[in-house]
Structure formats: structure tokens, C-alpha cells
Amino acid sequence: MDSILVTGNGPLNGQIEIAGAKNACLTLMPATLLTEEPLTLTNAPRLSDIKTMTSLLQSLGAEVAAMQDGQVLAMSSHDIHNHTAEYDIVRKMRASILVLGPMLARDGHAVVSLPGGCAIGARPVDLHLKALEALGAELELKDGYVHAKAPGGRLIGGTIDFPFVSVGATENAVLAATLAKGTTVITNAAREPEIVDLVQCLRKMGAQIEGEGSSTLTIEGVDRLNGATHPVVADRIELGTYMLAPAICGGEVELLGGSLDLIGAFVEKLSATGVEVSATENGVKVSRKNGRVQAVDVTTEPFPGFPTDLQAQMMALLCTAEGTSVLEEKIFENRFMHAPELMRMGAQIDVSGGTATVTGVERLKGAPVMATDLRASVSLILAGLAAEGETRVSRVYHLDRGYEKVVRKLSGVGAKIERIKEA
């Protein structure tokens, strides 16, 4: 099992190119199941989760080819001969549930295993299923699989009122409603940039959708969708992560392809610590040149609030801040698993339920640590960049699910980091 060795090496300077968003690409890929015509995605990230979704789509009969070093995905679903998404693939990634809505919408039936993925809280799929039931789907849970069918072979437009915001359930509902007969109104819908990106792609395919970026989406079902070519939006979580690298180490780094519009709440908190953030012609520039950062309080919320997927990385920064910070996690329970690992590096953190109190120390110390999930793994790397001595992060297979070429990108701006291949 590979590990990553990081040695604190002073300020970072240079440029890092931001990849396409993993969470957007994993949502866009199942859209191929809605049409017999080709769907091509550009600016696709090169990640293990993308390979998992590729395998899942291929198992259903879709053709998926990665071109231009994996940054272009050419897909065609003209021959969907299998409507069962098997456990062996679905268990690897929660986003696999997103094939359910498109298959049900196009062919009126589907069987999909209940999904797996990072062990962060319960993250049930109940809202996905209730949304599809609101469109007329008949569902049965049997032997770990969702057996779904649309009476008469087609879903019917309806009203979907989510009791709380769910990005994945909103995505599944939107995908399913594009081919449903009649009008679908989704209230309390997620507003994330990945939802906006999905709607923009589906609109290119001929879908009739209004309201993206707001909490209410209105979808007029159409009889068929056509093919399209669509660029995957920049990854706001990768952007925020690499913005934190010069914040925690000092220096000045430009994030190429990034946009402040994607992470406004995060930028507000980062700026409050004393880090300089500005837009450039080609992206975003982050600079820290004077002393320690200042403590700030952070509460995770659905977009446009502070992203839960940047909480672990922000905690790494606040471990070295001047003062005491309080981080409140309101999206996922059990998402402070990185805290004990940061404490091994000398961080002062007190966790009580969904709240972590962090008292900053002047300098962290390198130590052997273990990644517990995707975002925790990169938070430990960030901490290692600012620590005294060597930090060895094990179980970095989590990292490969969400960050491409981490070692190359960070070493390119001066970090001392290497991947250790294990036998």
C-alpha cells in the first residue's frame, strides 16, 4: 500500500493547474445513459473514481473511451443491454447510485446495488428513492439491490420537495425528470456549481430545465435527448485545497483555471485569517508573506456556504493559527476522523460531537499518520508541508479518488514531497 512522504520545506511559489471537478464529472457521465447519441466530456479529471464510473457504465453496455491522456471522455449508450448495476462495482463509490435515475427514465426499469464509498457518516440514499417515487417509480429493496420500474414504461412529472438539501438526490432527480412525461418541480434543491454544470450539459442535450443555481428547479420532460460536447467545470475542492498550500507554508501560488465564484464562502474565511486572495487573468492568486495566520470560526453548510469537503484541509491551516478556532460540521456526522492524526503531529484539537475546537500551535511536527478518507488524506499532506521534519501519510489510495498528480503539482511549486511505492 503506497504512502506519501512530506518534508517541511518553507514557502511555496509558482503555478498549479486546477483539474475538472470530480463530483461534476461523476454526475455528468451517467447522463450518457439518457441518449443513444454520443456525449463527450472535456476537461475530465484523471482519477480512480472516474475509472470506476467508466467500468460501471461499460458493464451496462455503454461505450466509454478516454482520450488526450484521459482529459476527454467519449461516451455512447446506443446499446444498453444490461440494466443491473452490480454490487462489485457499485460498492466502491457512492456516486454509482446516479445511474438509477437515467436508466429508469430511458428504459423504464433498473436494478442497482446500494452503494459504498468513503466511511463518512450514514449518507443514506433514501432521498434518491423518494424523489424517484414522486415521479411514479415503483421501488423494491431486495437483497441489497434497488429494483425499480416505471409503470407504463415512463416516469411521470411530479413535485419533489426535499426535507433537506442533498446534492446527490437533486442530481438523480434532475437526470430522471428530463425524460419524464410532463412537468417536474424540485424544491429545496441543491445549488452547488456541480448541479449548475449538470443542467447546462443536459440543456445542450435538449433538456428543458430552468432555475439552476436556485433552490427551485423546473423541468419540462422531453421525448428524447441528443448528444453534446461539454467541458467539466473546474474542481472547486481541489482549488480550495491548493489555495491552502501557500496559506499554510507561506509564499505565493497562482491556481490556473480557478474561479473565486466557485468558493466564495471559503475565500471569505481564508481572507479572514490574513491570507491574501485575488483573481487573476488566468485564475486565482494566493499569498501569505507575513507571520502566522489568525484563528477563525468555520461552520460547514450546503452551497453557497462553507464546503464540508474543505473542512479537513481548513483545520490543517487553523492548527498553526494564532488563537483558537471552532469548526462546526453540519453536513456529515463523524467527519473529524483526521483530528486524531493531526494531534499526532502536535496539533491541539478537542472534538465534541459535531464541533472541533482548535488551539493553534506555532509549528507542527512530522509524524507517521494514516488517511481515513479522501479529504482527510490531503489535509495531512498540507499539515506535513508546514511541519518540522518528515510526515509519512499511509493509506493514500483514498487520495487517488479525488486528486490527480498531487506529488507533481505540489513539487512543482517547491514542496518536498514524494510517493513511496510499497511492495
Identify which of 81, 103, 95 has the alpha carbon closest to the alpha carbon of residue 167.
Answer: 95
Cα first-last separation, the chain: 7
For residue 340, is the peptide bond before it cis, meaning its omega torsion is within 30 degrees of 0?
Answer: no
Query: Domain 3-18+235-420 maps to which CATH number in 3.20.20.70, 3.65.10.10, 3.40.50.10790, 1.10.150.450?
Result: 3.65.10.10
The reported pTM is 0.93
Q: pLDDT tens digits for the chain (423 residues)?
A: 899 999 999 999 999 999 999 999 999 999 999 999 999 999 999 999 999 999 999 999 999 999 999 899 999 999 999 999 999 999 888 899 999 999 999 999 999 998 854 443 445 689 999 999 999 999 999 988 999 999 999 999 999 999 999 999 999 999 999 999 999 999 999 999 999 999 999 999 999 999 999 999 999 999 999 999 999 999 999 999 999 999 999 999 999 999 999 999 999 999 999 999 999 999 999 999 888 999 999 999 999 999 999 999 999 999 999 999 999 999 887 789 999 999 999 999 999 999 999 999 999 999 999 998 888 899 999 999 999 999 999 998 889 888 999 999 999 999 999 999 876
What does the alpha-carbon distance between residue 317 and residue 293 come to, in Å, rounded to a whole number? 8
Residue spans per domain, the chain: 3-18+235-420, 22-231
State the residue for C-alpha cell 501519510: 393
Q: Using an 8 Å Cβ cutoff, are 32 and 78 in contact?
A: no
161 has binding-site annotation: no
257 φ, ψ (degrees, to nearest 5): 90, -5
In this structure, how many other beta carbons lie within 10 angstroms of the beta carbon of residue 393? 29
Residue 85, Cβ density class (10 Å: 0-12 exposed, 13-18 middle, ≥19 buried): buried
How many CA atoms lie within 13 Å of 265's alpha carbon, on the beta-carbon side?
Answer: 18
Collapsed DSSP state (helix, strand, coil) of residue 51: helix
Residue pointed to by grid coordinates 507517521 = 368
d(Cα 242, Cα 262) in Å, to the nearest integer? 14
Taking alpha carbons only, the member of 167, 307, 296 closest to residue 237 is: 307
Q: Does 292 count as an annotated binding residue? A: no
Does 125 belong to an annotated binding site? yes
Residues forming beta bridges with residue 251, ordered by sequence position? 12, 288
CATH code that applies to domain 22-231: 3.65.10.10
Which strands form 145-149's sheet, in the order they lie side by side?
84-85, 109-113, 145-149, 138-142
Phi-psi region of 420 (alpha: psi -120 to 50; beta: other; left: phi over 0): beta
Q: Which of 220, 225, 167 is nearest to 24 (CA)?
A: 167
- pLDDT at res. 120: 38
Query: Closest Cα to residue 175, out of 21, 22, 19, 39?
Result: 39
Structure-block grid coordinates of residue 286 = 494566493
197 annotated as ligand-binding? no
C-alpha cell at 92: 466502491
From CA 156, how far away is CA 211, in angstroms rounded?
20
The CA-based diameter of the chain, rounded to the nearest angstrom, is 67
Domains 3-18+235-420 and 22-231 share a fold: yes
As annotated, the active-site residues are 118
Ligand-binding site membership of 126 (annotated): yes
Helix (H) or strand (E) holding 416: strand 416-420
Q: Is 108 helix (H, G, I), strand (E, B) or coil?
A: coil
Nearest Cα residue to 160 out of 196, 194, 135, 123: 135
Rg of the chain, C-alpha, whole Å: 22
